[in-house]
Amino acid sequence: MNRFIRYMLPAGVILAAVLGMAAVTGSEEDHEEARRLRDAGEVLPLAQILARVQAHHPGRVLEAELEREDGRLVYEIELLGPEGTVRELKVDAASGRVLEVGDD
């Protein structure tokens, strides 16, 4: 993996977590919506979600997205585990409960 990507990708995810915003792909409107949902208390901050996830599923965060699935707000988080496998976790954005753990 390119050295720049290897170091900058996790730094970007950490920055989003520190700001407490969901790292949502897409337009500026998506970011504003994620911030509004967090400020309204409808979703937990990404930093809090990542802390909970990593307590039970250690690894490097590759990607985090906030999506709406079946009327529910869900964080989709891709992790590179210590054994080298990539996992995708779906986490209820309001409660922080892990809904699904899958291997990519």
Give tens-digit pLDDT for 56-90: 999 999 999 999 999 999 999 999 999 999 999 99
Please give the Cα distance from 74 to 70 (Å, whole number): 10
CATH number at residue 42: 3.10.450.40
Give pLDDT, residue 32. 86
- What are the tens digits of pLDDT across the range 5-60? 454 555 555 545 444 444 444 566 777 888 899 999 999 999 999 999 999 999 99
Q: Which residues constitute the domain of residue 56? A: 3-103
Classify residue 30 as exposed, middle or buried by CB count within 10 Å of its CB (0-12, 13-18, 19+).
middle
Whole-model pTM over 0.85:
no
pLDDT band at 103 (very low <50, low <70, confident <90, very high): confident
pLDDT at 18: 43
Domain count for the chain: 1
